[in-house]
């Protein structure tokens, strides 16, 4: 399958879409009044409601193409612990005994973590038209026979909207998900909206505030995990674990990273924050940076659910926002037990 023009955006859509959006804005105005918020927030909330509508359409597109889609059903859970594996440079400092420990638990690899030789339980990745990214995604994950047993979740939005080069893999048939894009920078309203995505009495609904990381956290909480460990979530610099490494796959990944830096004018200088942690980017896009978002998510929603986020790297930008639980301390505690 190669995605072409969106089926739902044919001529009837162009006729009804402006009027349907007005209905969404009317609903937003009514909800804001009901919740006690300023009516000036109606445009931002209406966009959230519109994005929910579009998410359903993206999933319908994938169904029409005969693809697998995420329907909100939870996985079978064997413990309360989940490890979310990101791409920060601290991944290179994880010892073999610590990887062995993680391998005994549920784990999710986020975005390009698939270039690492550790195989996660599941993967969540977005997709783009960069030739190097496509090469690595198919080589290391989607057409990798050694990983044919894992679930791979691919963002439907990035396939049907931002990519024209997705082709159905030969080995793994991915599961497409559509996370609702929630673009709100009013913290109280944001938490009021997001809490609906963390309800435990309904099928899992996914939200995307600023990063695929927060989508995966949403997914893990929906699956009932109570202790969620963020591994390789550094954020205090814009470098990745595959850079400056003597490994052919990592060198190719580094080439990909450099193309992205040039495209978006990102810096890898020491002290330069990851783009998702940038206040400037958050304000430009009408949303919170990832550190502030996770802080509010923990204190306003997850605490009530008995869920705790931990960061495993003491040097992470999140170490001032969330408790630190190092992998070495977990391995030691497990050995003593």
Residue 135 lies in a domain: yes
160 closest CA partner among 5, 26, 290: 5
Residue 2 lies in a domain: no
The reported pLDDT for the residue numbered 212 is: 95
The predicted-structure confidence for 114-156, as pLDDT tens digits, reads as follows 999 999 999 999 988 889 999 999 999 999 999 999 999 999 8
Residues 202 and 263 in one domain: yes
User: Average pLDDT for residues 248-271, to the nearest whole number?
Assistant: 83
Q: Residue 209 burial (CB < 10 Å; 0-12/13-18/19+)?
A: buried
The predicted-structure confidence for 295-327, as pLDDT tens digits, reads as follows 999 999 999 999 999 999 999 999 999 999 999
Residues 172 and 29 in one domain: no
CB 235 within 8 A of CB 224: no
Residues 232 and 158 in one domain: yes
Residues 285 and 155 in one domain: yes
The reported pLDDT for the residue numbered 310 is: 98
Number of C-beta neighbours around residue 313 at 10 A: 25
The domain tally of the chain equals 2
CATH code of the domain containing 82: 3.90.1480
Residue 321 lies in a domain: yes
CB 143 within 8 A of CB 170: yes
Please say which residue of 64, 85, 107 terminates a domain: 64
The predicted-structure confidence for 67-117, as pLDDT tens digits, reads as follows 999 999 888 888 999 999 999 999 999 999 999 999 999 999 999 999 999
CB 58 within 8 A of CB 156: yes
Residues 187 and 272 in one domain: yes
Please say which residue of 64, 89, 107 terminates a domain: 64
d(CA 151, CA 223): 15
Residues 43 and 105 in one domain: no
Residues 175 and 26 in one domain: no
Residue 50 lies in a domain: yes
Residues 78 and 42 in one domain: no
Q: What b/e string do you get for 85-116 counting C-beta neighbours within 10 Å, with b at 16 or more?
A: bbbbbbbeebeeebeebbeebbbbbbbbbbbb
Residues 45 and 136 in one domain: no
Residues 192 and 243 in one domain: yes
d(CA 246, CA 119): 20
The reported pLDDT for the residue numbered 116 is: 98
Residues 288 and 148 in one domain: yes
> Is pLDDT of 281 > 90?
no
d(CA 8, CA 6): 6
Instruction: Write out the residue range of the structural domain in which residue 105 sits.
Output: 70-336
Residue 1 lies in a domain: no
The strand order across the sheet containing 151-155 reads: 68-69, 175-177, 151-155, 122-125, 106-110, 81-85, 227-231, 308-311
Residues 109 and 20 in one domain: no
Kind of pairing, strands 106-110 and 81-85? parallel
Residue 88 lies in a domain: yes
Residue 12 binned pLDDT confidence (cut-offs 50, 70, 90): confident
Please say which residue of 20, 40, 64 terminates a domain: 64
């Amino acid at each position: 399958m190669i995605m072409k023009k969106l089926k739902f955006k044919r001529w009837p859509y162009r006729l009804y879409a402006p009027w349907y959006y007005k209905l969404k804005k009317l609903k937003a105005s009514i909800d804001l009044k009901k919740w006690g918020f300023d009516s000036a927030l109606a445009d931002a909330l209406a966009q959230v409601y519109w994005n929910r509508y579009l998410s359903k359409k993206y999933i319908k597109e994938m169904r029409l193409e005969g693809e697998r889609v995420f329907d909100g059903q939870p996985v079978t859970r064997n413990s309360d612990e989940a490890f979310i594996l990101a791409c920060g440079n601290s991944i290179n400092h994880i010892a073999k005994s610590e990887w062995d420990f993680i391998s005994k638990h549920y784990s999710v690899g986020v975005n390009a973590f698939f270039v690492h030789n550790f195989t996660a339980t599941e993967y969540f990745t977005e997709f783009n038209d960069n030739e190097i990214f496509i090469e690595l995604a198919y080589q290391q994950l989607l057409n990798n026979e050694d990983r044919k047993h894992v679930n791979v979740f691919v963002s439907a939005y990035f396939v049907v909207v931002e990519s024209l080069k997705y082709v159905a893999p030969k080995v793994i048939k991915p599961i497409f998900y559509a996370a609702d894009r929630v673009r709100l920078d009013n913290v109280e309203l944001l938490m009021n909206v997001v809490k609906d995505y963390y309800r435990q009495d309904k099928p899992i609904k996914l939200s995307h505030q600023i990063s695929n990381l927060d989508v995966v956290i949403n997914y893990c909480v929906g699956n009932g995990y109570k202790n969620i460990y963020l591994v390789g979530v550094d954020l205090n610099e814009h470098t990745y674990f595959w850079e400056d490494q003597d490994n052919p796959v990592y060198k190719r990944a580094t080439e990909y990273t450099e193309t992205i830096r040039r495209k978006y004018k990102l810096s890898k200088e020491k002290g330069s924050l990851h783009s998702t942690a940038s206040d400037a980017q958050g304000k430009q896009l009408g949303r919170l940076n990832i550190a502030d978002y996770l802080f509010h998510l923990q204190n306003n929603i997850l605490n009530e659910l008995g869920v705790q986020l931990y960061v495993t790297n003491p040097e992470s930008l999140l170490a001032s926002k969330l408790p630190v639980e190092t992998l070495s301390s977990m391995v030691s505690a497990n050995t003593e037990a």
